[in-house]
């Protein structure tokens, strides 16, 4: 997830914070300090309420992290790669790279989070009951309820919630068709999202409850469910296509010793934004979108090697990779062109434009016409790649 910063690493998994986390952390801390704790635990100082609010907010996000970590550790036990966990405004998301896992593995992964949240709710409840310190009594009173809500909410059988993922896994076992299972699970998720939006609107009209929050949450779930189904279609289509079928062996290859000023003169009319830079002693790419504006004098003193991104910092593709691997790499690295390597040799390049063209072609307008229209609209907005 973009706009995130890594804070630490545990069990080989990067733990990241999305920038939206800070806003929600501040909002929850303020809400607890100014309303929740004064209401349920009166006659304490404002300073104590703020310490309680900040501590409870931190422990809430630790709870969310442990919820996501339980998913991830089950995935790693199933030999599924987990790159990161990102905490953001809605909760957390685990960066699990494998979508077409065995349904039994997905079922266990999906249920691990809510089960752990139920365990946390029980632990916090016991501390709340038997603890005599007002500070921890107040904090655990809040945390046992929130973890219980987190567990119950996630068990709702609507994709992409944990319960929806478990439901999809069961459907996948029955139908042996991931796309059909995803479509049904997403439909349940969108129905639930609609219910949330309805209650949100009702809350706004009647002045009861957190109407805006329900509307926002429902809209978010509705959107994410649709994106998840589209990803399944994209993977199904592009996963059957090899990079070797889409490789372009006619491409511009520049010398690393070439001055940037000469490069600008020669290629100022090019529609490309990305160029391959390769010599016997250097291999990299230039991404014009990442290069800052330079004075002309500076351009005359800088060669392409100095402003190129070395290939070892990129994820390259080989001929046996799928077009879906290329599709993911374009998104992850923010590039529209990637080199294709075989046995250390540069064979050619593959472009995002060509992958999307093939995606539209292979869909044949029969799977989801609205989805095809969306892909074609995205395709038209892209600059053409010069061959």
- DSSP notation for 78-104: TT--EEEEEEETTEEEEEE--SS--HH
Quote the pLDDT of residue 369: 47
Higher-confidence position of 131 and 148: 148
Point out the least confidently predicted range of 76-90, 156-170, 186-200, 295-309. 295-309
* Residue 98 pLDDT exceeds 70: no
Let me know if residue 385 belongs to a domain: no
28 and 143 together in one domain: yes
Higher-confidence position of 136 and 90: 136
225 and 115 together in one domain: no
Quote the pLDDT of residue 268: 78
Query: What pLDDT, in 10s, does the model give residues 233-263?
Result: 888 888 888 998 898 887 778 888 888 888 8
Please answer whether residues 319 and 243 qualify as being in contact, where contact means their C-beta atoms are separated by less than 8 angstroms: yes
Please answer whether residues 221 and 161 qualify as being in contact, where contact means their C-beta atoms are separated by less than 8 angstroms: yes
64 and 150 together in one domain: yes
Let me know if residue 339 belongs to a domain: yes
Distances (CA, A) of 16 to 21, 92, 228, 251, 298: 10, 10, 22, 37, 37
Mean pLDDT of 186-205: 88
Label the pairing between strands 309-310 and 283-287. Answer: antiparallel
251 and 342 together in one domain: yes
208 and 312 together in one domain: no
Let me know if residue 118 belongs to a domain: yes
28 and 10 together in one domain: yes
Higher-confidence position of 146 and 230: 146
Quote the pLDDT of residue 385: 42
* Residue 208 pLDDT exceeds 70: no
Query: What pLDDT, in 10s, does the model give residues 321-373?
Result: 899 888 988 887 878 888 888 877 888 888 888 898 888 888 765 444 455 55
257 and 357 together in one domain: yes
Point out the least confidently predicted range of 8-22, 292-306, 322-336. 292-306
* pLDDT > 90 fraction of the chain, expressed in percent and rounded: 28
Among 182, 208, 238, the domain-final residue is 238
Please answer whether residues 7 and 84 qualify as being in contact, where contact means their C-beta atoms are separated by less than 8 angstroms: no
Let me know if residue 169 belongs to a domain: yes
149 and 211 together in one domain: no
283 and 232 together in one domain: no
Quote the pLDDT of residue 383: 46
Point out the least confidently predicted range of 134-143, 218-227, 286-295, 341-350. 286-295
Q: Where are the beta strands (DSSP E) in the chain?
A: 4-10, 13-18, 82-88, 91-96, 253-254, 274-278, 283-287, 309-310, 337-342, 345-351
151 and 177 together in one domain: no
Find the domain containing 349 and state its range: 243-380
Quote the pLDDT of residue 332: 79
Let me know if residue 386 belongs to a domain: no
Which CATH number do you get for residue 271? 3.10.580.10
Quote the pLDDT of residue 366: 46
Let me know if residue 250 belongs to a domain: yes
Please answer whether residues 70 and 96 qualify as being in contact, where contact means their C-beta atoms are separated by less than 8 angstroms: no
Among 205, 238, 271, the domain-final residue is 238
* H or E stretch covering 15: strand 13-18
214 and 252 together in one domain: no
Please answer whether residues 196 and 217 qualify as being in contact, where contact means their C-beta atoms are separated by less than 8 angstroms: yes
* Phi/psi of residue 39, nearest 5 degrees: -75, -45
Please answer whether residues 329 and 323 qualify as being in contact, where contact means their C-beta atoms are separated by less than 8 angstroms: no
* Residue 274 pLDDT exceeds 60: yes
Let me know if residue 387 belongs to a domain: no
Point out the least confidently predicted range of 43-47, 52-56, 156-160, 277-281. 277-281
How many domains is the chain built from? 3
123 and 262 together in one domain: no
3-state secondary structure of 256: coil
Among 115, 139, 155, the domain-final residue is 155
């Amino acid at each position: 997830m973009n706009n995130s910063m890594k804070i630490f690493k545990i069990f080989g998994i990067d733990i990241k914070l999305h920038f939206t986390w800070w806003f929600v952390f501040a909002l929850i801390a303020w809400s607890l300090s100014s309303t929740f704790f004064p209401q349920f635990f009166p006659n304490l100082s404002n300073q104590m309420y703020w310490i309680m609010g900040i501590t409870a907010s931190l422990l809430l996000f630790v709870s969310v992290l442990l919820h996501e970590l339980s998913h991830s550790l089950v995935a790693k036990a199933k030999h599924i790669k987990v790159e990161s966990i990102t905490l953001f405004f809605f909760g957390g998301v685990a960066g699990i790279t494998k979508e077409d896992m065995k349904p039994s593995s997905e079922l266990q992964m999906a249920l691990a989070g809510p089960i752990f949240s139920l365990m946390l709710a029980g632990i916090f409840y016991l501390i709340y009951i038997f603890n005599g310190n007002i500070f921890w009594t107040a904090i655990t009173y809040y945390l046992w309820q929130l973890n219980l809500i987190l567990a119950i909410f996630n068990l709702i059988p609507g994709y992409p919630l944990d319960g929806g993922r478990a439901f999809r896994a069961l459907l996948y076992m029955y139908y042996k068709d991931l796309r059909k299972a995803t479509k049904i699970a997403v439909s349940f998720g969108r129905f639930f999202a609609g219910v949330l939006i309805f209650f949100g609107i009702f809350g706004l009209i009647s002045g009861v409850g957190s109407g805006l929050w329900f509307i926002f949450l429902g809209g978010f779930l509705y959107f994410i469910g649709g994106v998840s189904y589209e990803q399944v279609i994209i993977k199904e289509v592009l996963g059957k296509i090899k990079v070797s079928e889409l490789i372009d062996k006619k491409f511009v290859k520049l010398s690393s010793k070439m001055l940037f000023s000469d490069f600008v003169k020669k290629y100022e009319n090019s529609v490309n934004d990305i160029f391959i830079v390769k010599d016997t002693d250097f291999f990299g790419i230039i991404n014009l979108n990442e290069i800052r504006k330079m004075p002309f004098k500076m351009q005359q003193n800088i060669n392409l090697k100095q402003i190129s991104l070395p290939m070892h910092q990129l994820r390259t593709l080989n001929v046996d990779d799928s077009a879906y691997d290329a599709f993911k790499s374009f998104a992850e690295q923010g590039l529209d062109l990637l080199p294709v390597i075989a046995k250390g040799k540069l064979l050619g390049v593959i472009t995002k434009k060509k992958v999307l063209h093939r995606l539209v072609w292979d869909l044949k307008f029969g799977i989801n016409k609205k989805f095809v229209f969306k892909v074609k609209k995205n395709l038209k907005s892209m600059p053409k790649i010069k061959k």
